[in-house]
């Protein structure tokens, strides 16, 4: 088997266009584009604003941003064609795989293609109360760990960290919370010991300032078995030297940990090839025009792009990477694998849906079995079971 490689309120922003004739002939974007993004207080939203301002000033393209506070509100406009792009989270990968919230009759696997990602200095990790003496994920055994109801991404992240330490939910005391912020209130109050987050989020900062303090489990980059266990649960995680985070994490005091990109800029497979090509070209050639305009925007640098990740690139993006000479046969083989995998899952869905069970729970169970059967027959990893 082949493992994945590591590596609505509507806010309308009138953003303008003025590039030289030579650049305009190479970068051909529509006069307006619509994106969805995280909520208006998020770094993801701020990054899209920065990119939009660059597209306005350099190419005359007006960008309209629809902020969404959850995966459904961000992904639905992309599914229905209301927007061209989504600056999404890891739910985009779940959509490509047809799992979790997408293992539902109203969704199913989505024909998603990757445009670009941002990978910055922060990490995605389990934040642990500093008074627990936790140094590695294995030390979480027997501890009280937060489970966020209705948040697949956070819970899958927690499960992946437990797996790195050779643990499962059965090895910890699961404590359910109705929301992410409430779990950190629970840590501070002494009702739970750990919760998944990004290293720079305000709740993590609040925990670091509390009497309990904060610690981040270390992931040894040389622990091959640990990483294999983690990737079996969530193949989108990558080893990452975290240099920004609560509790004094900095370039001078880094933490060997893990991360995955945020945001993940995606479009549908049907997005025009020339638009996808022009967008990635603009974002790379005019990187200096927006990289310092929002927290994390420097994460779009070419050096930060993982060209062998878990979502297939749009063909227009592949064309750009070929043009600048960084695409090779190995990357193309990985791209072909991901496209074939996604097509296989889509074909399995189309064969399944007409005679699917009417009961919602039975539907999900039957779909996941049909998906597993198709992947097993092709010799591909299940990842989700």
Per residue in 109-160, pLDDT tens? 999 999 999 988 889 999 999 999 999 999 999 999 999 987 888 999 999 9
Residue 70's pLDDT is: 80
Residue 318's pLDDT is: 97
Sort strands 214-215 and 124-129 into parallel, antiparallel or unpaired. antiparallel
Residue 209's pLDDT is: 97
Residue 13's pLDDT is: 39
* For residue 263, cis peptide bond before it (omega within 30 degrees of 0): yes
Task: Work out the end-to-end distance of the chain between its first and last CA atoms, rounded to an integer number of angstroms.
Answer: 16
Sort strands 11-12 and 62-67 into parallel, antiparallel or unpaired. antiparallel
The pair of three-digit structure tokens given for residue 177, joined into one six-digit string: 């919370």
Asked if residue 136 lies in contact with residue 218, where contact means CB atoms within 8 angstroms, the answer is yes
What is the sign, positive or negative, of the torsion defined by CA atoms of 57, 58, 61, 64? negative
CA 382, CA 155: separation in Å to the nearest integer?
18
What is the sign, positive or negative, of the torsion defined by CA atoms of 201, 123, 89, 127? negative
CA 271, CA 88: separation in Å to the nearest integer?
16
pTM of the model: 0.84
Residue 1's pLDDT is: 44
Taken in order of first residue, the domains within the chain and their CATH numbers are 11-118+261-339 (3.40.190.10), 124-259 (3.40.190.10)
Tokens 């200095």 -> residue:
121
CA 381, CA 27: separation in Å to the nearest integer?
38
The residue ranges of the chain whose pLDDT is under 70 are 1-25
Residue 15's pLDDT is: 40
CA 28, CA 281: separation in Å to the nearest integer?
10
Longest dimension (CA), the chain: 64
The pair of three-digit structure tokens given for residue 319, joined into one six-digit string: 């064309």
Tokens 């993982």 -> residue:
306
């Amino acid at each position: 088997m082949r493992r994945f490689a590591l590596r609505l309120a509507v806010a309308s922003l009138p953003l303008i266009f003025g590039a030289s004739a030579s650049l305009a002939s190479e970068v051909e974007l529509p006069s307006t584009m619509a994106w969805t993004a995280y909520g208006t207080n998020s770094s993801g939203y701020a990054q899209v604003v920065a990119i939009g301002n660059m597209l306005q000033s350099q190419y005359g393209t007006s960008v309209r941003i629809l902020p969404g506070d959850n995966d459904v509100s961000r992904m639905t406009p992309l599914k229905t064609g209301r927007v061209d792009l989504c600056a999404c989270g890891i739910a985009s990968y779940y959509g490509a795989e047809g799992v979790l919230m997408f293992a539902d009759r109203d969704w199913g696997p989505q024909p998603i293609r990757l445009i670009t990602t941002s990978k910055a200095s922060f990490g995605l990790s389990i934040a642990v109360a500093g008074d627990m003496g936790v140094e590695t994920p294995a030390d979480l055994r027997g501890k009280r760990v937060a489970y966020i109801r209705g948040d697949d991404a956070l819970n899958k992240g927690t499960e992946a960290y437990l797996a790195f330490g050779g643990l499962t939910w059965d090895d910890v005391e699961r404590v359910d919370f109705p929301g992410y912020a409430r779990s950190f209130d629970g840590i501070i109050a002494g009702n739970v010991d750990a919760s998944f987050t990004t290293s720079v989020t305000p709740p993590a900062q609040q925990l670091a300032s509390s009497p309990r303090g904060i610690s981040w489990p270390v992931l040894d980059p040389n622990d091959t078995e640990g990483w294999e266990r983690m990737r079996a649960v969530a193949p989108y995680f990558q080893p990452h030297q975290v240099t920004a985070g609560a509790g004094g994490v900095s370039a001078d005091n880094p933490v060997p940990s893990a991360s995955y990109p945020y945001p993940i800029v995606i479009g549908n497979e049907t997005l025009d090839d020339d638009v996808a090509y022009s967008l990635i070209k603009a974002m790379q050639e005019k990187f200096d025009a927006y990289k310092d305009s929002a927290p994390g925007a420097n994460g779009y640098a070419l050096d930060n792009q993982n060209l062998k990740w878990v979502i297939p690139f749009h063909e227009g993006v592949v064309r750009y990477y070929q043009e600048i000479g960084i695409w090779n046969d190995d990357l193309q083989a990985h791209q072909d694998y991901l496209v074939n995998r996604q097509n296989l899952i889509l074909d399995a869905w189309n064969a399944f849906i007409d005679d699917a069970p009417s009961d919602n729970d039975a539907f999900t169970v039957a779909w996941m079995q049909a998906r597993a059967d198709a992947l097993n027959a092709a010799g591909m990893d299940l990842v989700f079971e």
